[in-house]
Structure 1
Amino acid sequence: MRIGKNVMAALLAGALIGTVSGCSSGGSEDDAPGTATEKPTDVTLKSKITPPPAFASEKGWEVRADWMPEGQPFPYALSAKGDIIAHLDKTTQGYVLKVREAVSGRLLSTSKPWKAPEPTEEQTEDPDGLLTVPRVSQITGGEREYFAVWAYGRKSKDQLHSAKEVVSAAFYPVDASGDIGPSGTADVEASAEDSATDVNVFPGARGLVVIPGFEDAVLVSPDGKVSQGISKVKLGGKPSDLDLNLAFPGPDGLVTNGKLEKGGSDSGGFGIDGGWHSTQVTPPGADAVLKGEFASTGPWETPNGRIHSATGNHLIAGWYTTSDKPVSAVHDLATGKLRATAPCANIGTPYDLRTPKQPDQYETPAGLSPNGDYLVKGGSVFDLKTGKGHCVGEGKDAKKITLISVGDDGTAYGLTDQSGTEGNMPVSVSAKTGAAKPLPVATTTPDAVAKGAGVFITYASHYTRLIVLNVRN
């Protein structure tokens, strides 16, 4: 399977609900860094794209990032309600987080410049394959929501100390206004003996989980506090190691997969540390525990279910069923409660992506509508109000469809796989029925859907644009 260059860029951006920027000379389109005052024309919509019919091509705003290197995904994130967009800018003093109203583009806050760690030699030598600058992630928090800006690289305490590989993070309250400083900052050492691609970072309700190689995982809270040694959890009443590829800080504890048992099944169960377990939330047609027997080792059993992805307060898990047909299910992250199922398998995707490796364009993570009623993941679309999910791009001679985003009206957007000279076809899919419709070839599909607007990322040879178009009335 091959994906065209332009579509690959779109998928790279879609794979990041907080992503990456690049380095270059050049300044901001706005006023001086660190100020929330800007000219009315600074984000005026200048670009012309062809969006799906639900969006007004003539009404919206845009940010042109000519400081970004070609091929790097644009760094932005949406608030939990989808009504606020945060994006990074690059100034001579450092990276600046700008927070805007989604529909109007009005600037709500601007962070003080933040110094990211310097790229490692590995990152510098492979700019096309590795991420080199900060990313933005949404942290739902408790009473307050945050945006996290974080990056992998090399940093020294001062000029008298040697540089070490670290993950640096800074947190900013979503509801802050004007010129703002971080609520907390932290540097987590990532062992230089580990490959950079072994460093995982997962955002969630309580902050960032950082897993440097095979060392103990740490939790970085929005106040900058670092909690060490969280690589052990208790799932279903039994001790377990943290899943190094999927472990996110839920509101009441770490949520992760259990050990793969000796039966060889790609299962092992999942749950929250010291709380609910997958054996308590099995979907219809699935056994809570899988059992079998090997001639050489005898009988075995293992809990069913395995997390594939997550978004917002939802998990997407795969289950083995009694009919041997795969099932994907959406679960509430806090309680494990079953929200919806679809009769198809799903490709596993980390909640966030390994750093500093660029995301795999074939593995876009889940997307959630601003109102929380609909969810997409890969070739599946879920209606969380009815509990029904649909599989798209299946059947004889059907082109595979990768869904990227979904709106409050239940319309999901994505692309077909490239097939020969036909290229990728933009499509829309109904979350209520699962019916897919081709869109005109020139259509640009939204990277995400905000409350009242669509977010489009476009790439040119010398600059990247964040274009936000209003939903048509």
Structure 2
Amino acid sequence: MTKRQKIVRVSLIAGVLILVMLLVLASCGGSKDEAKPEKPVVNTGPDTQLNVPDGYNTRRGWEISDVSPQYAVASATGLVAYLARIDESRYQLRTQNAVTGKAGWSGEAWRPLAPVDRYPRLLSLTKGDKQYFVTWSYGRLGEYALASADSLISLDVYDAATGEQRRVEVPWGDAPTVTSAGPGILISDGKALSAVVDPSTGEVSRTAPGSLGYPKGCPNCKKLTEVRGVTSKGLLVSGAKEFWVRGGWFSRKVAPKGTEPTSGVPASMSYGHVLAKWQKKKGAKDAATHEMWVVHALDTGKAVAQVRCRKPAISSGADPQLVSSPDGRYLIAGRLAFDLDEKKGYCFEETDGTRPLTLTSVADTGVAYGATKARNVTDALSGGGNPVQVNLVTGEPEPLALNVRLPAGDATGMGLFRWTDGKDRPHLIAYALREEN
């Protein structure tokens, strides 16, 4: 074979190989409609490896830094929202996919009314089948105000699914309390003055203190009157004793068995429920030492679950705040825990009321975390007290290592942990719940 023939033969072979490769690539292609969906992003884990309970896998998750102290979760969308500082005077609401750690939508940057060294407040709420994130600040009018008053509350309401942003400004005289446990955003002065913002329309409705629908025959209802929350039926209001929904139910008519019907006082709310404290019936052998803590359905007032706890283990000045698991089955509040499906309640303390347990979070698995000997939730999350985990199926607390950091919350199977590094930068870290074998 001549040298020229060899060159021709090699060229032919190379051409055949290229043709084969093109055919293979063509067969692997196809229209976009035929392409297989991409697999979810799998994060190999945050750089920061905290010492956390064994129920979390620190190799799976994500981490963000320089974030606001507060965060909010919309379980239906699987998003975690937080605030980021854009410059010296502007902030931006950003979202993160709770499972993958992939960035979601971001809102427009804005200047809050609060001082520039303070993050605006961040809330979440649900109305019907839609969830919202809400940021708010309070202060004097500035060049960006849309209303005329000496001072006002500026709220930005975001559709949690799309990021659609709505600005609402409400003239308000004194420092407000703003909450979102019901289907509306409640603004109050901590007493009988209130306004409710509809998150879907931005409409603001006010109810005069004299129009709160005081129940007949309830003198205590007109003492220390306070608007406590929003329900789908109307405002939840309380007096020195007893509470009611304006135009709806009255606590005296839904008093749990074995309690004084006129003794109910609401402590806190979560979506769809209110936690109330009741005195035992006079003459009961433990009436002097114990009281009842009861979870009521907000729309009807019906008692869903209850538990007996010692006095004065929980003082009125430190009412426990209800926290729900993402799926809504479990509720925790200080040393109290409830399984709404099983209609069970727990009070985690010794029989004499000592060594109370302060719970910080609860997952859909029914596992809750907290600490004994902690002053409050903030102290427990900062390392105060002795860490504990509780399975709410059995109700048995189990001690954890003293250096374990507790989760501040749970979102779609991810535990959320707060941490501040050596440069005083706040971090939000998510670790995945370990899958059961």
TM-score by length of 1: 0.71
One of 256, 277, 288 as aligned partner of 1:318: 277
User: How many Å separate the matches in 2 of 1:433 and 1:312?
Assistant: 25
Q: Which residue of 237, 241, 262 corresponds with 1:256?
A: 237
**Which of 99, 103, 106 is matched with 1:103 structurally?**
99
Residue of structure 1 equivalent to 2:251 = 278
Which amino acid counterpart does residue 48 of structure 2 have in structure 1?
S
* TM-score, normalised by the number of residues in structure 2: 0.77
Question: Which letter does structure 2 place at the counterpart of 1:310?
Answer: M
Structure 2 counterpart of 1:210:
187
Kindly indicate whether residue 160 of structure 2 is the aligned counterpart of residue 174 of structure 1.
yes
Greater mean deviation of Cα atoms: 103-112 or 397-406 = 397-406
CA distance in 2 between partners of 1:317 and 1:405 (Å): 20
For 2:92, the aligned partner's letter is V
In the aligned structure 2, how far is the partner of 1:408 from the partner of 1:160? 42
Pair 1:275–1:429, CA change in 2 (3 A): same
Residue 152 of structure 1: how far off its partner (Å): 2.2
Partner of 2:73: 78
Kindly indicate whether residue 418 of structure 2 is the aligned counterpart of residue 457 of structure 1: yes
Name which one, 1 or 2, has greater alpha-carbon Rg. 2
Give 1:229 shift: 3.3
**Partner Cα separation in structure 2 for residue 430 and residue 398 of structure 1:** 21
Unaligned runs of 5+ in 1: 1-39, 69-73, 261-267, 289-302, 350-359
- How many Å separate the matches in 1 of 2:184 and 2:249? 21
Whole-angstrom CA distance in 1 between matches of 2:213 and 2:56: 47
1:280 counterpart SS class = helix
Residue 112 and residue 432 in structure 1: after superposition, are their counterparts in 2 closer, same or farther (change >3 A)?
same
Change in CA separation of 1:158 and 1:463 when aligned onto 2, cut-off 3 Å: closer
Listed one character per residue, the Cα deviations across residues 405-463 of structure 1 (whole Å, up to 9, x for unaligned) are: 111121111112259xx951111122233221111111111101122111111134511
2:360 is the counterpart of 1:389: no
Matched position secondary structure for 2:188: strand
> Does the 8 A contact of 1:235 with 1:275 survive in 2?
no
Question: Aligned partners of 1:107 and 1:168: how far apart in 2?
Answer: 26
Q: CA deviation at 1:187?
A: 2.1
How much has 1:139 moved relative to structure 2? 1.5
Gap change, CA 1:160 and 1:400, over 3 Å in 2? closer
1:408-419 matches, within 5 Å, as 408-418=364-374
Equivalent position to 1:224, from 184, 202, 226: 202
User: Structure 2 residue aligned with 1:135, among 106, 118, 121?
Assistant: 121
Q: What is residue 53 of structure 1 aligned with on the other side? A: 54
Structure 1 residue corresponding to 2:111, chosen from 99, 112, 115: 115
| Structure 2 equivalent of residue 344 of structure 1 | 309
Q: Which amino acid aligns with 2:349?
A: G
CA contact (8 A) 1:405 1:413 kept: yes
Give 3-state SS (helix, strand or coil) of 2:178's partner. strand
Report the AA paired with residue 311 of structure 1: S
**Matched letter for residue 56 of structure 1:** N
Secondary structure of 1:117's counterpart equals coil
Deviations 1:386-420 (A, max 9, x none): 2111111223594221111111121111112259x
Quote the Cα distance in structure 2 between the aligned partners of 1:134 and 1:442. 32
Code of the residue aligned with 1:281 in structure 2: it is: V
The aligned counterpart of 2:17 is none
CA distance in 2, matches of 1:407, 1:398: 26
Structure 1 range deviating more: 164-173 or 311-320: 164-173
Question: C-alpha deviations, 1:127-183, integer Å up to 9, x for none?
Answer: 8xxxx321111121134221111122333356999983322111001111xxx441x
Q: Give the distance between the partners of 2:249 and 2:427, measured in 1 at CA.
A: 43
The percent of aligned pairs where both chains have the same amino acid is 28
1:95–1:115 CA contact under 8 A, matched in 2? yes
The SS at the match of 1:437 is strand
Indicate the structure whose relative CO is greater, using CA pairs within 8 Å and at least 6 residues apart. Answer: 1
Alignment gaps of 5+ in structure 2:
1-40, 376-382
- Determine the structure 1 residue equivalent to 2:378: none
In the other structure, the counterpart of 2:432 is 470
Residue 221 (structure 1) shift:
2.0
1:435 corresponds, among 378, 392, 396, to 396
1:340 counterpart letter in structure 2: A
Count of aligned pairs between the two proteins:
374
Query: Out of 406, 411, 414, which is 2:362 matched to?
Result: 406
Partners of 1:283 and 1:338 within 8 A in 2? yes
| Cα deviation 1:216-257 (Å, max 9, x = unaligned) | 311122232222334331254579669765521112211121
Larger relative helix fraction: 2
Classify 1:330/1:137 alpha carbon distance in 2 versus 1 (closer, same or farther; 3 Å): same
d(CA) in 2 for partners of 1:466, 1:118: 23
Q: Distance in 1 between matches of 2:228 and 2:367?
A: 30
Q: Distance in 2 between matches of 1:399 and 1:411?
A: 20
SS of alignment partner, residue 344 of structure 1? strand
User: In the TM superposition, what whole-angstrom CA distance separates every residue of 1:75-132 from its partner, at most 9, and x where no partner exists?
Assistant: 211125483211111113722112222111222311111221142xxxx9xx8xxxx3
Pair 218,160 (structure 1): closer, same or farther in 2 beyond 3 Å: closer
Distance 2:332 2:236 in 1: 20
Give yes or no for the alignment of 1:234 onto 2:234: no
Distance of 2:124 and 2:62 partners within structure 1 = 22
Letter in 2 for 1:374: Y
1:136–1:147 Cα contact (<8 Å) kept: yes
After TM superposition, give the deviation of residue 340 of structure 1 in Å.
0.5
